[in-house]
Structure 1
Amino acid sequence: MEQAMKRRRATYHIWTFTASKLISAFGAQVYTFAVSFYILQLTGSAASFAMNLICSILPRTIAAPFAGYAADRWPKKTIVLTAQGAIVLAVGGLLSISLIYGLSLPAIYVTTALISLAASFSGVSFSAAITGLVDEARIQKAMSLNQMSISIAAIGAPAVGGLLYGTVSMNLFLILFMAAETVALILEATMNFRLFNRKADTGEATGEGPVKEPLLQSMKAGITYLKTQPIILSIIWISLFINFLFGAFQVGYSYILIEKMKVASEHFGMTEGAFAVGMLLMSIGLSVRKEVKYPLLVSKWGIVTMGLIMASVALPVLVSLPYKGLVIFYASVMFAFGMVMILVNTPIQVMMQKGVDDDYKGRVFAILETMAMALMPLGTVLYGFLYDLLPAEWILIVSAAVLIAVVLTLARPSVVRKAHPELAGRHPKGPENPAPAAK
């Protein structure tokens, strides 16, 4: 009876979690779309656009270790709700400034940094809480539905943003974002973050455990734990280099379409929507199918495919296309990119959810986020200036080639066989001392 009640509660969590992410993501996407267009049209500079990305990335990178420590020490629900409330207040502050003084780049940058800081605590705590919210058998479904909700929001939000931009004030975009985050906050307040927890979720845990350790000692313990997980370490190093190189895509895509190709805001929104449709379809597929058997292998070739897609963004710069063909081409590129990105991320996320000990989840996900984003500020600054100085097409092509070379090196066959020893039987030259598979 108790197990049946827990499963029903877990089902409620899955759908409430999905709804809260859908609403929150919709507001965030509309806000991001409007701010990106505002900055690029106001300044016409890729460097200014990149600066806003840095304000989003840098605080999250710095805060992640502290967010991981907090998630392992204090109640995750309290952290999530506090962080969501902080986002509402930050956007409310920007709205007040806009109404009184008018919008300015410094105000946007500061608000973006505050939102990023709060999102770091919320994101790490939610990641660490997944196995407490749902039963193990439905982790992949929960992760896929989460991605699906983000995809649905990403389909509608750019379309709404593209239609509204230029016809309504930026204040309306801010109000939409505030309203969405407030509704998400209310939904998350109804969830039980400790439904399936194997460990206590507060600093008052019984017995000894890392939750009682001071900050520096706790971080050191998390790093020590990671040293016993070589596959997770490999994933972290891959994330470090890949996210640096994806700065070429993050800055370059918007810069090429808006500044070089002069794509209208509504059509730019359509290409962003195609990206979300790709994410949505792949998320639906993963939510109803069996768990991916070889997640690291699937992710490896998915990243190689993403590198090829990234290089293809430069094609219309080299070969002239009619305007309609240009929009269709970029919509197709983004559709494929969205599908492959979910295929890369979701299996790895499920693998880590099941393999990392509950006592260390917050710190491990925080370290993963820190490493994944550590070079992104540098990459964003570098590419922001490079796009102002060098031909955009060659920046994308060279970056894509380096990306493919990096993933083929870091996820070489010997590393893949350590994650999936059952593959060794298919290759006569397996590693001499294969490591046990990550749990």
Structure 2
Amino acid sequence: MEEVFKLKRATYHLWTFTISKLVSSFGAQVYSFAISFYILQLTGSATSFAANLICSILPRTLVAPFAGYAADKYSRKMIVIVAQIATTIAIGGLLIVSLTAGLSLAAIYTTTVILSLTSLFSGVTFSSSITGLVDETRIQKAMSLNQMSISFAAIGSPAVGGLLYGTVPMPVFLIMYLVASIIAVILESTMNFNLFAKRKEIVEGEEKEPMLQSMKAGFNYAMKQPLLKILIVISLLINFLFGAFQVGYSFILIEKLKIGAQHFGFTEGAFAIGMLLLSIYFSARKELKYPFLVSKWSIVTLGVIMGSIALPLIINMSYVVTVGFYILLMFIFGASMIVTNTPLQVMMQKMIEDDYKGRVLSILETGAMALMPVGMVLFGYLYDVLPAQIILIVSSVLLIGVMLIMARPSVVRSAHPELAKVTPQLEIK
């Protein structure tokens, strides 16, 4: 009877979690869209716009290890709710400022820092809680629904923001985000974060492990598990090499090929639609039997697509064919991202013990956030001094090479020992 009740609660968690993420992500992205335009309109300065991005990235990079520690040592439900309440207060404060004194860069930057930190604590803690919220058989469904809600928000928020910006005042955007945040708080407060959790019980009077020692223990835990260590290294290398795509894609289409803003938007939309459709597919299908193997070839596909972005710079194409080519390419790219991320995320959820999840996931967060600006600066410089097609093709070859080496047959066999019985060639070292 108790098991039936827990499964019903898990179903409730699946949809509550999805709706909460959809509402909060939609509000956050509409706000981000509006505030970006507002800063550029207010100052006309790319530096001011970049400063807001730094206020978003830098705090996350510095504080991520502490968020992981908190997620492992304290009530995860409390952290998520407090983070969402802090988001609500920050947006409410900015709304009051905008209505009384008018928005200033100082107020916007301060709010961006607070929102960066609250989203960090909420994101790391929620990711650490998946196996506590749902049963093991529905982890893939939970990860897919989470990605689906983010994709819905990515598709819908620019459309809503574009329709409203210029026709309604900034306080309307803030009120939308405020309402979304309040709804998220209400939904999250009804969830049981320990329904399926296997965390070590805290004994009253037991001496607590010092914070830095606990963080070090989380790092050592990750490094002592060969497959988990490989997954982390692969994730970080992909994040770095994708800097070539993040910087180069817009540069090539807008500067080199002179693609119009509307048509460029179509290619971005195709990327989001690809992610959305594959998220829906993964949420409906059974869990993959060989997730690591699927992710391996999906990353190789991503490498091929990244190199293909340079094709119109090498082969002469008409404008219509070029736009159509990039729409198709970005659709496949978005779909491949989900085929890559979902299986790896499910593997990590199952491999990492509940008591270490926050700290291990925060290692990924810190590494990814630190490598992102490094990659963007490096590739930004390279695109100024080298032909774009060379950078993309070399980065593509490196990505494919890294994946084939890191996920060589012996590693695949260690991830899926049962595969060796089906395909003996995987025994090759």
Taking structure 1 as the reference length, what is the TM-score of the superposition?
A: 0.85
| CA 1:243–1:349: 2 relative to 1, 3 Å | same
In structure 2, the residue matched to 1:279 is 275
Q: Confirm whether residue 424 of structure 1 aligns to residue 420 of structure 2.
A: yes
Task: Please show how residues 233-382 of structure 1 align to structure 2 within 5 Å.
Answer: 233-257=229-253, 267-317=263-313, 325-382=321-378
Q: How far apart are the structure 2 equivalents of 1:429 and 1:197?
A: 35
Contact 1:159 1:270 in 2 (8 A): no
Q: Confirm whether residue 414 of structure 1 aligns to residue 401 of structure 2.
A: no
Q: How far apart are the structure 1 equivalents of 2:66 and 2:73?
A: 11
Q: How far apart are the structure 1 equivalents of 2:111 and 2:394?
A: 34
Q: Percent identity?
A: 64
Q: Which amino acid letter does the alignment assign opposite residue 399 of structure 1? A: S
Q: Which amino acid letter does the alignment assign opposite residue 26 of structure 1? A: F
CA displacement at 1:169 relative to structure 2: 4.8
In structure 1, the residue matched to 2:116 is 116
| CA 1:274–1:175: 2 relative to 1, 3 Å | farther
CA displacement at 1:14 relative to structure 2: 0.5
Q: How far apart are the structure 2 equivalents of 1:52 and 1:413?
A: 44
Contact 2:412 2:426 in 1 (8 A): no
- How big is each residue's C-alpha offset from its partner over 1:306-326, in whole Å with a ceiling of 9 and x where there is no partner? 122223334445556665555
- How big is each residue's C-alpha offset from its partner over 1:39-93, in whole Å with a ceiling of 9 and x where there is no partner? 6787686x87666544433322222211111011100011111222233334445
Contact 1:245 1:399 in 2 (8 A): yes
Q: How far apart are the structure 2 equivalents of 1:315 and 1:173?
A: 40
Contact 1:151 1:277 in 2 (8 A): yes
Q: Which amino acid letter does the alignment assign opposite residue 112 of structure 2? A: T
In structure 1, the residue matched to 2:29 is 29
CA displacement at 1:422 relative to structure 2: 2.3
Deviates more, 1:178-187 or 1:215-224: 178-187
Contact 1:54 1:381 in 2 (8 A): no
Secondary structure at the aligned position of 1:400 is classed as: helix
Equivalenced residues, count: 426
Question: Unpaired segments of 5 or more residues in structure 1?
Answer: 433-439
Q: How far apart are the structure 1 equivalents of 2:251 and 2:167?
A: 22
| CA 1:412–1:429: 2 relative to 1, 3 Å | closer
| CA 1:431–1:325: 2 relative to 1, 3 Å | closer
Q: Confirm whether residue 62 of structure 1 aligns to residue 62 of structure 2.
A: yes
CA displacement at 1:180 relative to structure 2: 2.1
Q: How far apart are the structure 2 equivalents of 1:54 and 1:317?
A: 32
CA displacement at 1:115 relative to structure 2: 2.2
Contact 1:50 1:384 in 2 (8 A): no
Contact 2:17 2:188 in 1 (8 A): yes
Q: How far apart are the structure 2 equivalents of 1:170 and 1:320?
A: 44
Q: Which amino acid letter does the alignment assign opposite residue 304 of structure 2? A: L
Task: Please show how residues 140-219 of structure 1 align to structure 2 within 5 Å.
Answer: 140-199=140-199, 204-205=202-203, 212-219=208-215
Q: How far apart are the structure 2 equivalents of 1:122 and 1:315?
A: 41
In structure 1, the residue matched to 2:129 is 129
CA displacement at 1:401 relative to structure 2: 2.7
Deviates more, 1:69-78 or 1:283-292: 283-292
Q: How far apart are the structure 1 equivalents of 2:381 and 2:276?
A: 33
Q: Which amino acid letter does the alignment assign opposite residue 250 of structure 1? A: Q
Q: How far apart are the structure 2 equivalents of 1:324 and 1:367?
A: 44
| CA 1:333–1:178: 2 relative to 1, 3 Å | farther
| CA 1:429–1:269: 2 relative to 1, 3 Å | closer
Taking structure 2 as the reference length, what is the TM-score of the superposition?
A: 0.87
User: What do you get for the CA RMSD once the two structures are aligned?
Assistant: 3.1
CA displacement at 1:35 relative to structure 2: 4.8
Question: Unpaired segments of 5 or more residues in structure 2?
Answer: none
Secondary structure at the aligned position of 1:30 is classed as: helix
Contact 2:145 2:283 in 1 (8 A): yes
Secondary structure at the aligned position of 1:277 is classed as: helix
Contact 2:413 2:426 in 1 (8 A): no
CA displacement at 1:38 relative to structure 2: 5.9
| CA 1:301–1:381: 2 relative to 1, 3 Å | same
Contact 1:50 1:380 in 2 (8 A): no
